[in-house]
Chains A and B, each alone.
Chain A
Amino acid sequence: MSELTPGFADPVLGAQSCFRAILEAMSRPGRLQRVAGIDQPPAPLGVAAAATMLTLADADTPVWTDAGRAAEDWLRFHAGCPLVASPAEAAFLLATGRMPALATLAQGSEEEPHRSATLIVEVRTLAETVGWKLTGPGIETEHRLQVAGLPADFLRQWAANRRGFPRGVDVVLTAGPWLAALPRTTRIEEA
């Protein structure tokens, strides 16, 4: 408890600008957004992962994370979110190690596809001029995104995730202060 650090320096403006960044990232899949407003995120979270959690999670959203005790205490304290042990029960998941398989997460229903999980993954690096070719809603021709730190079978999992539309998981990738989003509608091809 005594290792606790502050959340957003300005809670209202911090959450608003981070929400805007997530909205931009979801509307333009693969484009990087830079997030600020948190001086000392708890290890091992980067600024973007920490800010995303404080912006999206609250007392009504069960959260799963593998980020360890310090991050759990910090999330419980600042976001007020309940933490759950089973990935399938979570509305938001924050993975810093090996991410849970997409198929094991809440997929929503045909009637209520919005009741699916959003997975936030802290990866090693993100770059937007090279790598995967992304197409789909929000992308005029194609966007490029290079990600280091996802499981080797991620693209296979992602293709399966897309087939369940309108059900399916949305993903936010974070690396330090950067984030990019992969909404369930985005097609990804290997470069």
Chain B
Amino acid sequence: MAYVAVKGGERAIDAAHAWLAEARRGDATLPELSLEQIEQQLGLAVDRVMAEGACYDRGLAALAVKQARGDLIEAAFLLRAYRTTLPRFGASLPMDTGAMRLRRRISATYKDLPGGQVLGPTFDYTHRLLDFALAAGGTPPPAPQATPDGEATPRVTGILAQEGLMAPEAPSETEPPDLTREPLSFPAERPLRLQALARGDEGFLLAMGYSTQRGYGNAHPFVGEIRMGEVAVEIAPPELGFPIEIGEITVTECQMVNQFAGSKTEPPQFTRGYGLVFGHGERKAMAMSLVDRALRARELGEEVDAPAQSEEFVLYHCDNVEATGFVEHLKLPHYVDFQSELEKVREMRATVFREAAE
């Protein structure tokens, strides 16, 4: 690939940017969107940008959505670029999602699980009919409230593990690899894969997860549990020497339960795929857990023949900021490359015509 420096477009670029700013604002007689409105009323777009931008900050994500005119991949790109300007203070202690303050918690494997099914603010059970009342606007009546029964909400995977039916996670405090510091290398261990998937493109992961259900990867998954709510984040600054809470973030977690026929060393049991994403991102968390399970094929001694089971295929292509960079770079001037291709094709055509004429 080669690029040539092209000068002379500066005025055109300035004019294009001015038009972009005007187009972003739209009809100036209409009220302008505030960041608070985006944060509050387009909250799931903000969540997606935080997840794929790999940076939790609702205000920054709302600004990115506004600046990108609602293009969420562009917004994630803006957030990734901004984060490079900030120093890293350290890493948190691993969050305890078991202690989440739940807004939603459902299981498809146990109807009567301890703590119950909590639906939360969900699109499920809506009729997917356009609601023209929303077009008119207005404030909805307050949602009903009930007294919490205080029942504990243990993880479903824990219930299965008690019976020995679920492969346990090995307890570990190993310092995880960080792909924002070291480039991806293969074979990639599960902590590195999970980091890549957590910031991966929702659409890509959705398609990959879907492919495992349709037979490319031999999965038979059940949603063991999905939970969404607030988790406390703690850090242990060296100057204090003890952990402190720095605030709460909203996350969505999915435990996907999969049958495992067993191997030479392991009896038949269930294994889990894991999904964890910033914000309220249920589709992404589910897709991530399907792909995580598919990527464990090698470790579990299963055959690796489907795209979703290929680490290199999935991890090299799941990042939409990288993907958009490489796809969109094709817009940049390739005049010299193309000139050489042009000459080659002309020459080949001339040869073909000459031979045909002989």
Contacts and interface: CB of A to CB of B under 8 A. Distances in A.
Q: Do A and B come from one complex?
A: yes
A59 interface: yes
B88 A59 contact: yes
Interface of A: 1, 58-60, 73, 76-77, 80
15 contacts: A1-B239, A58-B87, A59-B88, A59-B89, A59-B90, A60-B181, A73-B239, A76-B238, A76-B239, A77-B238, A77-B239, A80-B87, A80-B89, A80-B90, A80-B238
A60 B181 CA distance: 10
Nearest to A83: B238
A25 to B, nearest CB: 24
A149 B230 CA distance: 58
B242 to A, nearest CB: 13
Nearest to B181: A60
Nearest to A58: B87
| A-B interface, 3 closest residue pairs, ranked by CB to CB distance from nearest | A77-B239, A76-B238, A59-B88
Nearest to A73: B239
Contacts of B89: 59, 80
A1 B239 CA distance: 8
Looking at chain A's contact residues, the main secondary structure is loop
Contacts of B88: 59
A59 B90 CA distance: 8
A169 B286 CA distance: 51
Nearest to A82: B238
Contacts of B181: 60
B85 to A, nearest CB: 11
Contacts of A77: 238-239
A48 B90 CA distance: 27
A58 B90 CA distance: 11
A73 B89 CA distance: 16
A80 B88 CA distance: 9
Interface string B228-243: 0000000000110000
Interface in B83-103: 87-90
Contacts of A73: 239
Given A59-B88, A76-B239, A80-B238, 9 more contacts: A1-B239, A58-B87, A59-B90, A73-B239, A76-B238, A77-B238, A80-B87, A80-B89, A80-B90
Contacts of B87: 58, 80
Nearest to B90: A59
A80 B87 CA distance: 10
Contacts of A80: 87, 89-90, 238
B332 to A, nearest CB: 30
Nearest to A81: B238
B296 to A, nearest CB: 31
Nearest to B91: A59
Interface centre among B88, B89, B238 (most CB of A within 10 A): B238
A104 B90 CA distance: 30
Contacts of A60: 181
Contacts of B90: 59, 80
Nearest to B239: A77
A92 B354 CA distance: 69
Nearest to B238: A76
A77 B90 CA distance: 12
Interface in B219-265: 238-239
A126 B67 CA distance: 53
A19 to B, nearest CB: 14
A73 B241 CA distance: 12
B356 to A, nearest CB: 54
Nearest to A59: B88
Contacts of B238: 76-77, 80
Contacts of A1: 239
A80 B89 CA distance: 7
A77 B240 CA distance: 10
Contacts of A59: 88-90
Interface string B68-93: 00000000000000000001111000
B42 to A, nearest CB: 33
A59 B237 CA distance: 12
Contacts of B239: 1, 73, 76-77
A60 B90 CA distance: 10
B58 to A, nearest CB: 26
A24 B348 CA distance: 56
Nearest to B89: A80
B340 to A, nearest CB: 33
Contacts of A76: 238-239
A60 B88 CA distance: 10
Interface string B170-185: 0000000000010000
A128 B88 CA distance: 39
A73 B238 CA distance: 10
B182 to A, nearest CB: 11
Nearest to A1: B239
A59 B238 CA distance: 11
Interface in B289-323: none
Contacts of A58: 87
B355 to A, nearest CB: 50
